[in-house]
Structure 1
Amino acid sequence: MAYRKDLKDSYSPLLFLASLGAGGAMVSMYMFLMFMVPHKGRPLAIYDDWLAAFSTGHVAYKIMIPIVLLGILVFAYIHVRTLIWNIVEYRKFRASVAYDGFVKSNNGIQLMAIPLTLAMTMNGGFIAGATFVPGLWSLSEYLLPAALVGFGIIGYFALKIFSNFMVNALVHGHFDCERNNSLAQMLSVFSLAMVGVGFSAAAAMSHIKATSAVGYIGASFFFAAVIIFGTIKLVLGFRSMMSNGVNQETTPTLWIVIPILTVLGIGLFRMTKGLEHNFGAHVEPASLFALLTSLMAIQAVFGLIGYAIMKKVGYFERFVSGPDKSPGSLALICPGIAAVVMANFFINWGLVGTEVVGKFSIAYFILYLPVIWLQIKTYLVMFKLLSKLLLEDKDAHIAGAASAS
């Protein structure tokens, strides 16, 4: 089936989350190469590493590597395809009469989904390039400064959208706190965090001090914004929900803290590695264990609260399995993907790094069972929502396009 066309007034920038989710799925597939394929002397597994592992003839690598590579290619295609579709439809929406009113409402924050997705494109593109392009890593010290420029441009775009929204809200007071009964406003924080983690890659991977320092400074700036505005928007959202009850259509936003913490955790991890590689700092495995455990504990709390509320209001039966359509349902994808990625870091850097669990031991693979289950479950939900919201259906209409309040 073809993708839907000419949505115009019924379009929502939240549909960019379809592309974002596919990009995240690509990263989650790469985690198997990252942590199970040897890549001594490099911070990530590249083309040469998986090829060498596959050539050893070990049956596990013979099975795993082709599946992972195929998964990365499939999700990369979906990411790019849905990104192009969204850009085309967004341009039509921007020319519509509904756009001005949309930007001035609470829903205007949905525009932050655009730089969020573009930052994911940069992060995913780097992974795909390292995985499939022979010899690309040898150019890393040239590519990382270019990536800093790219993230700088995306970051400027994100800050411009965010500052315009905040200035208009604070100067004109148009922000409707009564309708802010969800965590939809945290989308802006997620976007800033994704830019920050992009900067942190250069901080960790470059062995040129200047490049690493610029990456560290850029990541610090955006993570500072994440902490400040994340706290503000979290309090405002829960204040409104406690007073007015949760907006049933936007209950998936209760899980948005999960991907924010994953991105923040990876960024902080990278920044510590950058300090270790380039500035003489020493990072104890116990410190990484404490950081990752704390972040996963917070994720678990929000995961349980969000699930309980969504079950109570019948969200899954209505917007996932049922007939109702909402672009906001795409917000279900990123938390699952983010939990999978964080679990990979926790198992390998948290438990294996502190020698609590042995690498490739029975306990190691048992720990991966729920992770793989969640990964598959999230992929199935993603494919269902992509089919439901993006593919052509002449008899369907997306309800509640302006769902973030």
Structure 2
Amino acid sequence: MTPLSRPADTYSPLYFLASLGAGGLSVTFFMYLMFWVPHPNAPVPVFEDIMATFASGSLAMKAAIAIAMTGIAGMAFLNIKSLLWNFSALSKFSKTPAYEKLVNSNGETQLLAMPLATAMTVNGLFIVGLVFVPGLWGIVEYLFPAALVAFAIIGFIAFCRIGDFLGRVLSEGGVFDVTANNSFAQLMPAFALAMVAVGLSAPAAMSTVPLTVGISLVLSIFVGTIAGLYALVAAVVAFNSMLHHGTAKESAPTLMMVVPILTVLGIMMMRQDHGLHTTFDGHSDKAANLLLSTTILSIQLAFSALGVLVLRRQKYVDAFLRGGKNSPGAYALICPGVALSVMTQFWINKGLVAAGIIAKFGIAYWALTAVAIGFQVAMILLVLHLNRRHFGKPATGHAIPAE
């Protein structure tokens, strides 16, 4: 990299995580609307619900809605802008020797960041439609099959990428560098599949057509189960390597990749449960979501603590966020914070409030919600900081590709 180039000019597929992070942040803003705006006629708030609440709500509610809508629009813009840039950059990168080197190394799984970010964008566009398009809910049953097809295509791309990687390393032998597997970078395929699965599960929670709900349930269970299995195997194999060789410094943020994987799989399971209840009379009590969200949050906090511990010991922030080095893998730091913010909102509203443990809009409610908002604000600042470092003025630091 020349002294006058930007870090992003040394391309890595991990830059798709910049798009992913912005898309995830749009979801954190949607949580305001999801849990604060009444929506009696639909399982999610739509444009009409939002406008009605804005017209009749308090000043605080009006402010919250304005912030949410502005945040969704802004982050969706960054999400799509970054995704399009990445598609263009990846197309050019695929014609270089660096790409050939990548696809013949452990880092081949970085290419799964593309279907991961694409699936996030499709999810994000659905949120944009709900929030900004009047009358969308009237035609939503026509959109669900299209969404299922879109996610099925993205899932097919992801499975093909995974097949290329596993086919190479399992058939040839000796081509997978176990000593370089000392991070959770190999969980990227699981993350991509989990994002596809949560998208496939949306019609199960929102459609009233049994066939649509059934297809959504079957496909999301299939993809989500494989995502969970892949994550488990990859994590066990990687942890063994980390115990022997320590954690690769530039890939240390991947230690917390378990956090977003669990959030999207958790939302998938809640959507599936809702579909089973409303369409197929598969009843579960109020404690089910409390148990699920609390269990997920507990595991997430454990992996977050582990990740922060290693990052601090390795002085990752000093090297890659403040110092002269740059790594596209730093964008992986956004995903855990976003995931914790979203899961905390679900834990509060679908868990604690639904079970009657705390009162909605009470002191305890806002105290816990402040934690979720704190994660959100921190990740917004991190996105802006990383975008300045990697896409802003030319930097003198060297970009390091995280595997």
Q: What's the counterpart of residue 220 of structure 2?
A: 219
Superposed counterparts of 1:132-143, under 5 Å? 132-143=132-143
Q: Percent identity?
A: 41
Secondary structure of the residue aligned to 2:223 is helix
Pair 1:396–1:88, CA change in 2 (3 A): farther
Distance (whole Å) between structure 1 residues aligned to residue 266 and residue 136 of structure 2 = 27
Q: Which residue matches 1:16?
A: 16
- Any residues of structure 2 matched to 1:351-362 within 5 Å, and which? 351-362=352-363
Counterpart for residue 196 of structure 1? 197
- Residues in 1 aligned to 2:57 and 2:184: alpha-carbon distance in whole angstroms: 49
- Equivalence for 1:95: 95
Look up the match of 1:281.
282
Q: Is the 8 A contact 2:119 2:196 kept in 1?
A: yes
Offset of 1:57 from its aligned partner? 4.2
* Secondary structure of the structure 2 residue equivalent to 1:86: helix
**Whole-Å Cα distance in 1 between the matches of residues 321 and 286 of structure 2?**
41
Normalized against structure 1, the TM-score is what?
A: 0.96
Counterpart CA distance in 1 for 2:272 and 2:195 is: 14
Q: Whole-Å Cα distance in 2 between the matches of residues 315 and 397 of structure 1?
A: 15
Matching of residues 368-383 of structure 1 within 5 Å: 368-383=369-384
Once residues 87 and 181 of structure 2 are traced to their aligned partners in structure 1, the CA distance between those partners, rounded to angstroms, is 27
Aligned to 2:330: 329
Q: Does 1:170 align with 2:167?
A: no
The residue type paired with residue 74 of structure 1 is: G
- SS at 1:126 equivalent: helix
User: Match for 2:315: what amino acid?
Assistant: G
Conserved? CA contact 2:19–2:79, under 8 Å? yes
1:162, CA displacement in angstroms?
A: 0.6
Q: Distance in 1 between matches of 2:7 and 2:369?
A: 40
Write the mapping of 1:214-363 to structure 2, written as runs, cut at 5 A.
214-363=215-364
Question: Counterparts of 2:68 and 2:95 in 1: how far apart (Å)?
Answer: 41
Secondary structure (helix, strand or coil) at the match of 2:380 reads helix
Find the aligned partners of 1:324 and 1:118 in 2 and give their Cα distance. 28
Structure 1, unpaired ranges of 5+: none
Take 1:6 and 1:274, find their aligned partners in 2: how far apart are those partners?
42
SS at match of 2:358: coil
Does residue 67 of structure 1 match 2:67? Answer: yes
- Partners of 2:199 and 2:74 lie apart in 1 by 23
Within-5 A mapping of 1:100-115: 100-115=100-115
| One-letter amino acid matched to 1:110 | Q
Counterpart contact for 1:327–1:398, Cα < 8 Å? no
Could you list the runs of 5+ residues in structure 2 that have no partner in the other structure?
Answer: none
Distance change >3 Å, CA 114–CA 91, structure 1 → 2: same
Q: Which amino acid aligns with 1:156?
A: F
When structure 1 is superposed on structure 2, of 56-65 and 212-221 the one drifting more is 56-65
Cα distance between partner residues in 1 of 2:398 and 2:216? 40
Alignment partners' CA distance in 2, 1:368 and 1:6: 35
Could you list the per-position Cα deviations for residues 254-286 of structure 1 after superposition, in whole angstroms to 9, with x for gaps in the alignment?
000000000000000000001001101112110
- 1:6–1:92 contact (8 Å) kept in structure 2: no
How far did residue 378 of structure 1 move?
Answer: 1.2
Amino acid at match of 2:191: F
CA contact (8 A) 2:203 2:212 kept: yes
RMSD, aligned α-carbons:
1.3
Q: Output the amino acid matched with 1:181.
A: N
Q: What TM-score, normalized by structure 2, do the two folds share? A: 0.97
- Residue 98 of structure 1 aligns to a residue whose secondary structure is helix
Distance 2:398 2:108 in 1: 18
- CA positional deviation for 1:382: 1.1
Q: Structure 1 residues 6 and 264, CA, compared in 2 at 3 Å: closer, same or farther?
A: closer
